[in-house]
Amino acid sequence: MGEPKTVIRVATKESVETITREQLPAALADKESRVWVDLENTGTGGFDELQPALVFHPMAIEDCVTDVNFPRADDYGPYLYIAVHSARWEENEPEPTIKELDIILGADYIVTYHEEPTRGITRADELVQRRPSLLSKGPDNLLYLILDVMVDNYMPILEQLQGRVDDIEEKILNEPDRRLLADILLFKRGIAALRRIVGPQRDTILALTRDEYEEIRPEIRPYLRDVYDRLARISDLLDSFRDELATILDIYVSQVSNQLNEVMKVLTLITVIIVPVTLVASIYGMNVIFPGVNTRHGFWVAMALMAMTAAGMVWFFRSRKWL
């Protein structure tokens, strides 16, 4: 984790500036200003330093600093608490890295809390500094921007997952082995971890599109519905990847079973061919008189009989399409 950091932005229609904690009460009192407080790895102390300008329920603060929450939205009356998650999945990693982002949304302010730098917050901050209206139009507008960027960051992950699924399908048809099975199981576990976040997050954003939360204005809800639609599509794709992996596992079992059957077939045919040859050799090894015994050509007669027996059995197997 990085060093604790608090950044306070105040936006008007024309500009955005960074202020100190001492200036926060005046900024909140200005009806023309909108405030964004970003807390990074500050713990409860970061919220304590915002008082008395901003006072939150202890449960809301605990939810922010405790990184165990599933996506959800809680209405505390004057403000709305929202927990969402961003995701990053490096190409060589077996599972995604999931980071929680906690948001407290009020009428004139928005507070974001995260323990590590988050791409959604970084991107939103860059856009706000270039276009102050993204914050000055209302904290719910900035909320939409953060969620929009966060969902956009899921798309490269889906493209990467599709490529990995295609690679696994190709490998499983050409060279199924135990290492590939381990990769499939780890990959499946990673997708399951991502699904456990995306599903509740989709439902959380759907809840934000309803009219039960006063902090979100009606004109912002259609944009949040767009975010919900894209997240629902992501959830459906993850479900399809899960189903594909289940099919791939069935194919793997079938491929391994087929390979085992081929090995068993070859070993069985070798055994069946050797048995009559061994029988002929055993008969000629008996201490009785047989054709060719005690003659110069007896050995070759026995070998010819064995070869003819083996060839006849191979012909028989081929005629029955067993070989």
List, for residues 159-193, the tens digit of each pLDDT value: 888 888 888 888 777 776 777 788 888 888 888 88
- Whether residues 88 and 227 share a domain: the answer is yes
Helix, strand and coil in the chain, % to nearest 5: 60, 15, 25
Residue 139 has pLDDT above 90, yes or no: yes
Q: Could you tell me which residue, 170 or 45, shows the higher pLDDT? A: 45
pLDDT at 138 over 80: yes
Check whether residue 147 and residue 10 sit in a common domain: yes
Reported as a single tens digit per residue, the pLDDT across 96-124 is 888 899 999 998 999 999 988 888 899 99
Shared domain for 203 and 302, answered yes or no, is no
Model pTM?
A: 0.77
Query: For residue 78, how many other CB atoms are within 10 A of its CB?
Result: 12
Looking at 234, 255, 276, the residue that finishes a domain is: 255
Say how far apart CA 150 and CA 86 lie, in whole Å. Answer: 6
Q: In what order do the strands lie in the sheet with 34-40?
A: 16-19, 5-11, 34-40, 109-114, 97-105, 80-88, 72-75
Do 231 and 307 fall within a single domain?
Answer: no
- The residue from 216, 240, 255 where one domain ends is 255
Q: Note every long-range contact of 96-100, with CB atoms under 8 Å and residues 24 or more positions apart, other chains counting.
A: 96/157, 96/190, 96/193, 96/194, 98/193, 98/194, 98/197, 100/67, 100/69
Domain count, the chain: 2
250, 290: one domain: no
- Is the CA virtual torsion 273, 274, 277, 282 positive or negative? negative
Residue 225 pLDDT level (bands cut at 50, 70, 90): very high
Residue 306 near residue 280, CB atoms below 8 Å: yes
34 & 92 share domain: yes
> Can you tell me the distance from the alpha carbon of 314 to that of 323, in angstroms, rounded to the nearest whole number?
8
Shared domain check, 177 and 48: yes
At 113, the amino acid letter reads: Y
Radius of gyration of the chain (CA): 35
- 207 shares its domain with 309: no
Query: Based on the domain organization, do 148 and 285 belong to the same domain?
Result: no
Query: Residue 157 pLDDT > 70, yes or no?
Result: yes
CB 160 within 8 A of CB 89: yes
Which two structure tokens, joined as six digits, stand for 70? 């599933």
For position 229, what pLDDT does the model report? 93
From 223, 255, 287, the end of a domain falls on 255
* C-alpha distances in Å from residue 279, one per residue of 282, 288, 290, 310, 312: 5, 15, 14, 12, 15
- The 3-state DSSP class for residue 83 equals strand
Mean pLDDT in residue range 26-36: 90
290-297 mean pLDDT: 65
Domain match, 268 and 230 both: no
Give the tens place of pLDDT for each residue, 230-252.
999 999 999 888 888 888 888 77
Q: What pLDDT digit, counting tens, does each position of 49-67 carry?
A: 998 989 999 999 999 998 7
Domain enclosing residue 302, as ranges: 262-319
My answer on whether 155 and 279 are in the same domain is no
| Domain CATH number, residue 127 | 3.30.460.20
Amino acid letter, 118: T
184 and 293 fall within a common domain: no
